[in-house]
């Protein structure tokens, strides 16, 4: 007989799943199968775990080679075959399916209208009474409670809206971000029956033990902790909620109809609401296909789990289908449980920094990223690794936008608000026919105040809220990828602030941006680097020093890599103008070194000898003003510091600078 064990209190496999109330025994089906399952839960005892057997189909995806890789692909193909009938979002199909079921549609419509209609009426009264702005916080909290009561689709919708600063005011963004998937579990007998039906095997031939109740439950499914029968390995088994496709299909059919109404009659929302609903619905439907989630996890693991401080659980394809997902169990603590993390001897800030660096790589390198960013989806493992979970909702950053984001940071540093406004074309925030000139004053008003501090001292949440206010006032259409990444970094900063109230996520991010600017050969980023370093025909040594200081904090920084893009541009066919600027700077630096040497020598001479040699001339041998001397000395010292930063890099080769010297020699 099969045995069952309960899950531990600090082991989580899918942090987006919040434990909900258990159903009463009266609500369970009184079937023979259910009675047998309950009896097994009470009476069975776990047998000794069988010897661990490593099957090629479930080995680490990064270690699979040769025949093992073939078997793994075959297991994945079998899982895909089991999910061949997984639902795909189609507005046309939903219209046909529910257009002929008026009673069901009417009943659900009344439920939704009762909740949202009363909310809308309150908004109208607030506006009529002149208290619309004052009551935004109260109404936002009410909307969060309404979404929770309306069920899974609206919980997901609220979470999606919490990442849309172009639709919701800041008060709503903050309140909706608190939505958690806290729903009742469904009967265990139904879950176990689903596993057997989906995998085509008896439950006791798959697992030697499984928790008697779900260790977590959410809107789309619930999770059990189990041990595989063939190996004894501990796994997490996610089982989809019965009837969830029917429920969300009907809701999206109705919500889409509401979207048409909003597009036509609500002027304060400038985005295409129907398009946003369709995009969001496609993502939710993707979450319903657990094979797709497994493939997402594998892809994410391949791209980002190459770091020793990142953990991504692997997938067991032989026990995965469209409605059942079996993955490696991860022991860990949710990242927002600071006390539990510190009891393990770990530091929250170290884990947050790991999350920030991984998020930046997701956003700006490969462009494939986790699109459901909230604290519960990040675990701190006992070994100090950051584990990513729940890969049902993923997104991608367009290649052009990846470089435009870095350029946008450069323009922000330079306070070039006209260029910042034009960046929104490349970021796909605005269509090319929109005039950005009215947006420039709004950006200037916000950033002139925000940039009283250095960029690394800015509070990211303040920055996001400020930009959100600008987006809300003008015809922006914030792409989903950008809104989700903003939310991800804001969440990470919020977690860090519990441990350190002075933490700034931009300070933690800046080394990555500096490294990319200094080392990436992409033409767009080379232009951005030159724009940052040169102004009005003069080289800004302080900017280069700051970039090197920040970039060297990134563990992947290489001084040789930092010089390569500049050298290619300088020696390339389009580098003539840059060569002239470099030559001018070389002359300035040479003068500064010579004058600095003279001043140092002069200062080293005893006062008596100095008076005899220079006839008591306080300026010594120089005919320049004290302010010019101070400027030259500062330049020389800065160049020496930069040289020291380059030499401190382990792989720095001074011979790389030879082409620059040759350029100056040839021209001079």
User: Hey, which residues are catalytic here?
Assistant: 372
Distances (CA, A) of 101 to 105, 107, 285: 6, 10, 21
Tell how strand 386-388 and strand 310-311 pair up: parallel
Q: How far is CA 343 from the centre of its chain?
A: 27
Residue 148 near residue 155, CB atoms below 8 Å: yes
SS3 629: helix
DSSP 654: G
SS3 488: helix
Residue 18 near residue 56, CB atoms below 8 Å: no
Pairwise CA distance, residues 59 & 660, whole Å: 51
Nearest CA-CA partner of 197 in 250, 259, 242? 242
Q: Could you tell me where the DSSP H helices lie in 151-209?
A: 152-161, 170-176, 188-199, 203-206
SS3 439: helix
Pairwise CA distance, residues 517 & 525, whole Å: 6
Pairwise CA distance, residues 281 & 257, whole Å: 13
Give the pair of three-digit tokens for residue 448.
């002139």
Side-chain half-sphere of 130: how many Cα atoms within 13 Å?
Answer: 0
Nearest CA-CA partner of 282 in 151, 430, 392? 392
Nearest CA-CA partner of 227 in 210, 214, 202? 210
């Amino acid at each position: 007989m099969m045995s069952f064990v309960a899950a531990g209190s600090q082991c989580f496999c899918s942090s987006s799943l919040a434990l909900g109330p258990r159903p009463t025994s009266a609500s369970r089906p009184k079937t023979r199968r259910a009675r047998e399952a309950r009896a097994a839960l009470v009476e069975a005892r776990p047998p000794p775990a069988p010897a661990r057997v490593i099957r090629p189909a479930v080995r680490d995806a990064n270690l699979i080679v040769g025949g093992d890789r073939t078997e793994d692909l075959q297991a994945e193909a079998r899982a895909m075959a089991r999910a061949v009938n997984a639902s795909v979002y189609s507005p046309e199909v939903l219209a046909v399916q529910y257009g002929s079921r008026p009673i069901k549609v009417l009943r659900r419509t009344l439920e939704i209208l009762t909740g949202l209609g009363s909310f809308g009426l309150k908004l109208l009264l607030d506006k009529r009474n002149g208290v619309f702005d004052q009551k935004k916080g109260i109404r936002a909290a009410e909307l969060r409670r309404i979404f929770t009561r309306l069920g899974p689709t609206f919980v997901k919708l609220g979470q999606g809206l919490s990442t849309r600063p172009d639709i919701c005011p800041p008060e709503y963004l903050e309140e909706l971000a608190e939505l958690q998937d806290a729903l009742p579990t469904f009967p265990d007998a139904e879950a176990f029956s689903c596993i057997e039906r989906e995998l085509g095997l008896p439950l006791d031939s798959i697992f030697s033990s499984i928790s008697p109740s779900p260790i977590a439950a959410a809107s789309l499914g619930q999770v059990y902790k189990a041990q595989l029968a063939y190996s004894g390995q501990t796994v997490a088994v996610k089982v989809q909620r019965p009837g969830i496709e029917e429920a969300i299909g009907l809701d999206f059919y109705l919500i889409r109809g509401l979207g048409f109404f909003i597009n036509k009659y609500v002027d304060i929302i400038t985005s295409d609401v129907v398009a946003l609903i369709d995009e969001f619905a496609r993502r939710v439907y993707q979450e319903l296909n657990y094979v797709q989630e497994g493939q997402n996890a594998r892809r994410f693991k391949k791209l980002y789990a190459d770091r020793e401080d990142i953990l991504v659980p692997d997938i067991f394809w032989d026990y995965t289908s469209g409605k059942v997902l079996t993955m490696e169990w991860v022991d860990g603590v949710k990242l927002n449980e600071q006390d539990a993390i510190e009891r393990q001897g770990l530091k929250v800030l170290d884990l947050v920094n790991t999350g920030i660096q991984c998020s930046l790589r997701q956003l700006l390198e490969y462009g494939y990223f986790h699109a459901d960013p909230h604290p519960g989806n990040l675990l701190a493992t006992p070994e100090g690794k950051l584990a990513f979970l729940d890969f049902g909702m993923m997104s991608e950053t367009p290649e052009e936008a990846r470089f435009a984001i870095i350029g946008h940071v450069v323009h922000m540093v330079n306070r070039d608000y006209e260029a910042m406004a034009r960046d929104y074309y490349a970021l796909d925030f605005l269509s090319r026919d929109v005039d950005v000139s009215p947006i420039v004053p709004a950006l200037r008003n916000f950033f002139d105040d925000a940039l009283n501090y250095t960029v690394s001292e800015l509070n990211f949440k303040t920055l996001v809220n400020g930009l959100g206010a600008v987006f809300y006032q003008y015809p922006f259409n914030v792409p989903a990828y950008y809104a989700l990444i903003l939310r991800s970094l804001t969440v990470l900063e919020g977690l860090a602030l519990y441990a350190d109230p002075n933490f700034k996520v931009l300070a933690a991010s800046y080394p990555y941006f500096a490294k990319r600017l200094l080392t990436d050969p992409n033409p767009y980023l080379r232009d951005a680097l030159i724009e940052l370093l040169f102004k009005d025909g003069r080289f800004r040594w302080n900017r280069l020093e700051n970039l090197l200081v920040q970039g060297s904090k990134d563990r992947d920084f290489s001084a040789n890599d930092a010089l390569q893009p500049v050298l290619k541009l300088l020696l390339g066919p389009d580098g003539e103008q840059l060569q002239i600027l470099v030559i001018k700077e070389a002359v300035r630096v040479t003068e500064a070194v010579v004058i600095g040497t003279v001043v140092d020598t002069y200062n080293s001479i005893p006062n008596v000898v100095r008076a005899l040699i220079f006839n008591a001339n306080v300026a010594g041998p120089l005919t320049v003003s004290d302010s010019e001397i101070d400027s030259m000395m500062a330049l020389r010292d800065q160049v020496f510091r930069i040289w020291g930063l380059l030499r401190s890099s382990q792989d720095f080769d001074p011979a790389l600078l030879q082409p620059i010297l040759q350029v100056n020699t040839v021209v001079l």
